[in-house]
């Protein structure tokens, strides 16, 4: 129970990695404010958190809307009195060739993945500074942001590269407040969003899903993709006491796909 009685806020928490991170933090003792644009999936995650014996609150919010972000943080503080850990997980993508990316694709992806992460991070920092007790900000980036060739599209890779860069700068500027800022860079992870991306790849290439899965696994040195719980385990570590002197880093969790 290394996070006992800590208060965490997780965005994009309704499914996939966000749900796994919420439950991982709860298992480590944290109470969790669960946010997602889909209130029904957020409610499901909150119920699961409560079944682990922790407190939870549902905060429907669109991470591309600054008013929603501000309301989300105010409601989390109203419910729990403070926030100790913020995990910026919400993200969007779809499979697109570089020649097929349209302006609306770029804007949709960067609205959530880059703008949303920045303003969530900024808003979290304001509360953490005001509280005066330090804290942890964990941004979910991607190995796509480090140039992984198997990315879903160039706009997504650019948005995740932005997350890594923002993580570095925030860590430099927030360290004096004892606020640690780190990023996690997942590789191939078994989520609904990844399945949707693979379906798009299958349609374009003519390969079956099974063929694509086998090719994916063959590229991974360790031979298997992530489960969402693999990302959750890293998030729990970065939120915990063992990571108190780690900041400004972007950790790959990818079975060895990218080794830098």
Active site residues: 156
Take residue 122 and report the two structure tokens written for it: 């900024």
Cβ atoms of 222 and 255 closer than 8 Å: yes
Q: Is 182 within 8 Å of 138 (Cβ atoms)?
A: yes
Rounded CA gap, 218 and 230, in Å? 19
Q: Return d(Cα 54, Cα 13) in angstroms, integer.
A: 16
């Amino acid at each position: 129970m290394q996070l006992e009685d800590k208060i965490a806020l997780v965005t994009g928490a309704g499914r996939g990695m966000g749900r796994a991170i919420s439950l991982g933090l709860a298992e480590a003792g944290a109470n969790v404010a669960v946010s997602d644009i889909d209130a029904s999936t957020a409610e499901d995650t909150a119920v699961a958190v409560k079944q682990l014996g922790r407190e939870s609150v549902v905060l429907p919010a669109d991470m591309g809307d600054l008013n929603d972000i501000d309301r989300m943080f105010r409601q989390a503080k109203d419910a729990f009195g403070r926030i100790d850990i913020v995990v910026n997980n919400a993200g969007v993508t779809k499979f697109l060739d570089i020649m097929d990316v349209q302006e609306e694709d770029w804007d949709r992806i960067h609205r959530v993945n880059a703008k949303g992460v920045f303003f969530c991070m900024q808003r979290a920092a304001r509360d953490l500074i005001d509280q005066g007790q330090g804290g942890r900000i964990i941004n979910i980036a991607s190995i796509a942001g480090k140039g992984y060739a198997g990315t879903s599209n160039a706009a997504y890779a650019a948005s995740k590269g932005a997350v890594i860069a923002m993580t570095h700068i925030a860590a430099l500027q927030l360290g004096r407040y004892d606020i640690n800022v780190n990023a996690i860079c997942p590789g191939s992870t078994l989520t609904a969003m990844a399945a949707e991306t693979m379906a798009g790849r299958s349609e374009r290439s003519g390969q079956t899903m099974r063929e694509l899965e086998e090719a994916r696994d063959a590229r991974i040195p360790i031979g298997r993709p992530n489960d969402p719980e693999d990302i959750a385990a890293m998030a729990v570590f970065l939120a915990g006491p063992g990571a108190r002197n780690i900041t400004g880093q972007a950790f790959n969790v990818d079975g060895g796909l990218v080794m830098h």
